[in-house]
Amino acid sequence: MARVRQERAERTRRALITAAAELFDQHGYHGVGLNAILRRAGVTTGAMYFHFASKDDLARAVIVGQADGLELEIGTRGLQHLVDLCRHIAVTMRSDVLLRAGVRLAVEQSEANLLDYSIYGWWSSRFADCLETAREMGQLRPGVDVDTFARVIVAAFTGTQTMSRLADSWSDLPERIEEMLRCLLPALAPDDVLATLTIPGAPVTEAASRTTTAGSVAEDPS
């Protein structure tokens, strides 16, 4: 009997987080009332307060749980894993409502006075793990500070996805993240390492060359 109650409680909690994520994704924090979340989840007010103290508390659960179910082990190591992970997140964001909502709330949380930095620290740790492995593999330039660069990647990803959301509802996010990586990777790794990496399928150095060539053609006044 206790197990049945526990399973029912877990289903209720998941229903609340899912409903909140769907509505926050569409309307942002201030555009969603608690009653709308309860209706979407099919949950009573009393059941909600058993799990969450307030709408703020529920929003924090969406922020912190944004990567729940996201596959982070994708079979590569070092800088290639960093590349593949960034692109995997970008592609997944277009279909994963919890990830999208959690990221959106994390960006907008200062307006809602939620002020929870922990998810940024969590992502920074994931990227730092990739970079630490890259250092052990001899892929990084001398003097690269792993923790600092991990925070820079999180900040760049956050800004890039915000621009993509505003411009095209995340549909071009993978391409924008590839551009971000092509700009950041040369600061991390020497040319011989970059030549071993692909974004996606094409060598980083080749992709960078195409970008530079295209820019030069566009700027040629002749």
What CATH number is associated with residue 197?
Answer: 1.10.357.10
In the chain, the amino acid numbered 135 is: R
Last residue of a domain, one of 64, 90, 110: 64
CA distances from 107 to 28, 114, 125, 137 (A): 10, 11, 18, 34
Q: Within this chain, do residues 167 and 98 fall inside the same structural domain, yes or no?
A: yes
Between CA 49 and CA 91 the distance in angstroms is 34
Q: Within this chain, do residues 105 and 179 fall inside the same structural domain, yes or no?
A: yes
Q: Within this chain, do residues 210 and 123 fall inside the same structural domain, yes or no?
A: yes
The overall average pLDDT reported for the chain is 88
Q: Which two tokens stand for residue 20?
A: 């909140």
Placement of tokens 């659960």 in the chain = 61
Q: What angle do CA 122, 126, 131 make, to 5 degrees?
A: 140
pLDDT mean over 190-207? 82
Residue 174's pLDDT is 94
More confident residue, 69 or 204: 69
User: Which of 168, 29, 175 lies closest to 103 in space, CA to CA?
Assistant: 29
The domain in which residue 85 lies consists of 78-219
Read off the pLDDT band of 220 (50, 70, 90): very low
Q: Is the pLDDT of residue 214 over 70?
A: no
Residue 70 domain-assigned (yes or no): no
Q: How many residues does the chain have?
A: 222
pLDDT mean over 147-175? 95
Q: Within this chain, do residues 92 and 127 fall inside the same structural domain, yes or no?
A: yes
What CATH number is associated with residue 52?
Answer: 1.10.10.60
Read off the pLDDT band of 219 (50, 70, 90): very low
Q: Within this chain, do residues 139 and 208 fall inside the same structural domain, yes or no?
A: yes
Q: If you ran DSSP here, which 8-state letter would residue 76 be given?
A: -
pLDDT mean over 26-45? 94
C-beta neighbour count of 20 within 10 angstroms: 28
Q: Within this chain, do residues 38 and 90 fall inside the same structural domain, yes or no?
A: no
Q: Within this chain, do residues 112 and 209 fall inside the same structural domain, yes or no?
A: yes
pLDDT in tens, 93-106: 999 999 999 999 99
More confident residue, 219 or 48: 48
Q: Which two tokens stand for residue 174?
A: 């993978």
